[in-house]
């Protein structure tokens, strides 16, 4: 199954690559750091080096299988590329990440780029805030 995607990317089908792709497909949290992936694999009994995790994620990104984001925390997070673009809103208290798409915003960006004489290659929009979810730590701790 994921073997084909890996092969299509011009990469050899190896245990680390298959396991990492599987993990990205099944992880309850879509947005994970390299360290997260490394630890989850360890916890699952897979002995895969952190350097390999970084290398594989980078290759997956180059192949378009994965997307990398820089939520302001000092490290990168990766997610499986679902094909459809979306932006993110993140709870600064509990870290919960929600995805959204807003065609109005997308369109305005195209207009702005045009007006300023830029040919857009990509963009990143991240909203930070506190989520009002009852399960969020915001509520439990009342801050």
- Residue ranges binding Zn ion (CB under 5 A): 87
The site that binds DNA (CB under 7 A) totals a number of residues, namely 24
User: Which is nearer to DNA, 33 or 109 (by Cβ)?
Assistant: 33
Q: What are the residues whose beta carbons fall under 8 Å from the beta carbon of 52, sequence distance 6 or more?
A: 16
Residues 23-62 that bind a copy of itself (CB under 8 A): none
**Closest separation between CB of residue 38 and DNA, Å?**
9
Q: Is residue 113 at the binding interface for DNA, with CB under 7 A as the rule?
A: no
Residues 43-102 that bind DNA (CB under 7 A): 47-52, 54-56, 58, 74-76
Of 67, 69, 72, the residue nearest 128 (C-alpha): 72
Q: Report the C-alpha gap between 120 and 108 in whole angstroms.
A: 12
Cβ atoms of 60 and 79 closer than 8 Å: no
């Amino acid at each position: 199954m994921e073997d084909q995607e890996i092969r299509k990317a011009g990469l050899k089908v190896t245990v680390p690559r298959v396991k990492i792709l599987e993990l990205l497909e099944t992880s309850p949290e879509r947005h994970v750091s390299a360290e997260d992936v490394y630890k989850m694999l360890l916890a699952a009994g897979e002995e895969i080096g952190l350097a390999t995790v970084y290398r594989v994620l980078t290759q997956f990104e180059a192949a378009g299988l994965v997307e990398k984001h820089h939520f302001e925390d000092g490290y990168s997070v990766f997610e499986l590329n679902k094909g459809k673009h979306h932006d993110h809103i993140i709870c600064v208290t509990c870290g919960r990440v929600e995805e959204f798409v807003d065609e109005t915003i997308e369109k305005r960006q195209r207009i702005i780029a045009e007006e300023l004489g830029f040919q857009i290659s990509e963009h990143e929009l991240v909203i930070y805030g506190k989520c009002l979810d009852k399960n969020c730590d915001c509520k439990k701790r009342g801050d």
